[in-house]
Amino acid sequence: MINKKINFKEKFSKISEHWSPKIIAEMNDYQFKLAKVKNKFIWHKHDDTDETFVVINGHLTIEFRDSKVHLKPGEMIVVPMGTEHRPIASEECEIMLIEPRGVINTGDKKNAYTQNSEVWI
C-alpha cells in the first residue's frame, strides 16, 4: 500500500448520504473515516474508546451534556471515552473521524443511523 496517497476532496465526491462514515485508510488497528453530516445525530457514547473529529469543510457543533463545542475547518476535538455527545451541523459539513477499527457510529445506541457494515471508498 505504499504510494497510496489519499485526497479528501476526491473521497468526499464518492459520499452521498449523511451520517454514514466511509473508511479511507487504516493505521495499525485504527481507521480514518470520512463522513458528510447534516442536522442532528443522536446522543451516544463509546465506552471503550476516545473518538477524534476533524472538520474538513463546513461547521460542526458537538453537544455534550453540559456544554457544546463549535468546530470549523482546521479544528479538531478528541471526545473522551464514555462521554455522551451529539454532533450537529445546520448545513452540510465534511468531517474526518479517527478511531479504532470496529467502532460503531452510534456507540451504545442502536437506531436507523447505526451502520452494520464497514465500507471503504
* Segment lying near a second copy (by CB under 8 A), choices 14-22, 37-45, 95-103, 105-113: 95-103
CA distances from 7 to 12, 24, 53, 70, 121 (A): 9, 9, 17, 25, 11
Residues in region 43-72 near a second copy by CB under 8 A: 49-52, 56, 64, 67, 69-71
Of 20, 83, 114, 115, the residue at the interface with a second copy (CB under 8 A) is: 83
What separation in angstroms does the CA of 76 have from each of 12, 52, 79, 84, 113?
18, 7, 10, 17, 23
Among the residue ranges 13-21, 23-31, 37-45, 101-109, the one whose residues contact a second copy (CB under 8 A): 23-31
Stretch that binds a second copy, among 13-21, 36-44, 93-101, 103-111 (CB under 8 A): 93-101
Establish if 102 lies at the interface with a second copy (CB under 8 A): no
Tracing cell 473518538 back to the chain, one arrives at 51
- Considering only 15, 20, 42, 100, the residue that binds a second copy (CB under 8 A) is 100
Instruction: Report how far residue 53's alpha carbon sits from residue 101's, in angstroms, rounded to the nearest whole number.
Output: 15
By CB under 8 A, residue 1 contacts a second copy: yes
How far apart, in whole angstroms, are the C-alpha atoms of residue 85 and residue 66?
Answer: 10
Q: Which three cell numbers stand for residue 70?
A: 463549535
Residue 118 engages a second copy in binding (rule: CB under 8 A): no
